[in-house]
Amino acid sequence: MPNSTWLEVVTCAIFGIMDHGAGHKDVSHKDIEPVVRTPWGAVRGRQEGEVLAFKGIPFAVAPSGESRFLPPMTLDPWGGVLDAVNFGPIAPQPAPIPAMSIAGDPVDWNEDCLFLNIWTPSLDGAKRPVMVWIHGGGFSTGSSGQVLYRGGRLAMRGDVVVVTINYRLGSFGFLAHPELRATWPAGHAGKYYCGNWGLMDQIAALHFVRDAVAGFGGDPSNVTIFGESAGGMSVAALLVCEEARGLFHKAIIESGPPSSISLDLAANRAARIGEIVGVDTPSGFRERLGGIRADEIIKADQQLGFEVTGEGAMPLAFLPVVDGGLFGTSLADLITSGETARVPLLIGTNRDETALFSAGEILGGGLEEEKVVHRISKILEEDTAGRVVERYGKIRATRGEGVSPVDIWTAVSTDYVFRLPSIEVASAHMLNGLPAYVYLFDWETSFMGTSLGSCHALEIPFVFGSIEEPVVQPFAGSGPEADDLSMAMQRAWVAFAHSGDPSCEEVGEWPAYGADRPTMILGRERRVDYDPRGEELQVWEDVGLRPSAGYHR
């Protein structure tokens, strides 16, 4: 396979479009056109291999024109039979670099983007578990139709119904300003919402699933939401969102720490977007910004993204907003205080998450230790940052792991941004009497000489079985060990969807999280480890950033 193809896979990831997948070979289509009747009208799908696929089903009114920067509105019934055989347009977003666009992924965007896709083993009326996937991409890129997220393999192997959803991104999905306040949904008179339009889209999609999935062979009383990165953050947000209560019954968070920003900060960023496109705030902000061309807003989003790079540990231009409507305080505070849906939780991270974002520095010759200390000093005092770097170096040297500055930065930033918050979520869930299951993914990519390790998003093709796509294999891996890991993860994920417990023959008994920190290691071997990499967690506890007291043995 040409080296340029391998580079496309990783470079797309570095620029936040990893989840666009890599090359796709369509499975055979049989001459079967299944039709399902929904409360809004009939949809016609297509048989793909051993499953039935329905693509591009609308679940809300197009959020364009006067509907821009407003909550999603309920669909009116459509007449006749809707052909659901092609993916719908993706949400407005920056285009992938032309030389790196991936065959098979939908790339045409439109503000009319609120579509979902369904894969089901059969329309036999059986009540199968439903798994609803929320894609990642930093709340700025991605779509439900990407090759890595095609749900046919998971549906077939797990006897589940798989749903993937679009939601608004960038300014269209998360621009927040007091001038954009709106009421939603019916029955919440006097309650105002602002900025979390993309999250409201996700809730609207879950309403559609609740009301229509039985016709696709799914059980609306057994819905699991799962997502990675921004999709995992979305799952964390939905866990504490009153408006989403009862719409799902289990949750899986992959590399998605609960993250949110204040309305004040969001409003400042909205004002900056307005400034870039030539719209002042506050008076008439909605009307005037609503008249700006979508491509101009996308360019403004990109500029804002460049400007916030380096601001703290989560330099994303758009995040869920503490708007006083969906959320009254930060997501992390809501979760640790126990304000969550009382559902089973599966949560985990990859061992070397941020190696993906350091790939440019790896290729460019590394990173100076002083720069590592400077970066960490943005979250800790400078002398404390130096001690953290020193202790991480000693811990890793004892294990025989890399201790270069980029190795240390990857380890520290991975723990601070991803692993510590995820462990905190699991601990809070456990302390509130709810079952939580924790994993640590440590399969290494061999691309770039293993320097990316177990990087961000690497687990996705194992969960969906898309490691079988040949062009993904140079990045994700291939061979019997990769196949075994993928099958084990698929079995565990669907076991959790079926019963709320990921234990299965392929991974063995998976104990619920507790004070001794049982964690399923998912890699070349599957095993339960107690307090894995606990020395690093102790470093953070010693500097005052620690998981809750429930962690201590």
The 10s digit of each residue's pLDDT in 361-392 is 766 666 788 888 888 888 788 888 999 999 99
- Rounded Cα distance between 51 and 335, Å, is 37
- Selection from 415, 408, 416 nearest residue 368 by Cα: 408
Q: What digits encode the pLDDT tens for the residues 26-37?
A: 333 345 689 999
d(CA 510, CA 165) in angstroms, rounded, equals 29
Q: Domain 3-70+81-367+404-551 is in which class?
A: alpha beta
Per-residue pLDDT, averaged over 446-468, amounts to 89
State how far Cα 432 lies from the chain centre. Answer: 24
Q: What is the pLDDT of residue 376?
A: 86
Query: Catalytic annotation on 28?
Result: no
Q: Which of 135, 429, 456, 498 is catalytic?
A: 456
Q: Tell me whether strands 35-38 and 46-48 are parallel, antiparallel or unpaired.
A: unpaired
The whole-angstrom separation of Cα 140 and Cα 301 is 8
Residues 6 or more apart whose Cβ sits within 8 Å of residue 264: none
Residue 79's pLDDT band (cuts 50, 70, 90): confident
pLDDT tens column, 116-153: 999 999 999 999 999 999 999 999 999 999 999 999 99
494, 160 contact by CB (below 8 A) = yes
pLDDT, tens only, 25-77: 333 334 568 999 999 999 999 999 999 999 999 999 999 988 999 999 999 99
Reported confidence tier of residue 106, pLDDT bands at 50, 70, 90: confident
pLDDT-based confidence at residue 5 (cuts at 50, 70, 90) = very low
Averaged pLDDT for residues 446-463: 88
The position carrying tokens 């019997």 is 480
Q: Is 177 an active-site residue?
A: no
Give whole-number Cα distances, 494 to 69, 156, 225, 482, 552, in Å: 36, 11, 12, 18, 31
How many other CB atoms are found less than 10 A from the CB of residue 444? 19
Q: Would residue 254 show up in a list of annotated catalytic residues for this protein?
A: no
Residue 359 has pLDDT above 80, yes or no: no
Active-site pick, 228, 243, 353, 469: 353
- Confidence band of 16 (pLDDT split at 50, 70, 90): very low
User: Which distant-in-sequence residues (6+ apart) come within 8 Å of 16 by Cβ?
Assistant: 137, 138, 140, 141
Domain boundaries, the chain: 3-70+81-367+404-551
Entry pTM: 0.92
Catalytic residue among 140, 144, 171, 229: 229
pLDDT score, position 10: 40
**Backbone phi and psi for residue 203, each to the nearest 5 degrees, phi listed first:** -65, -40
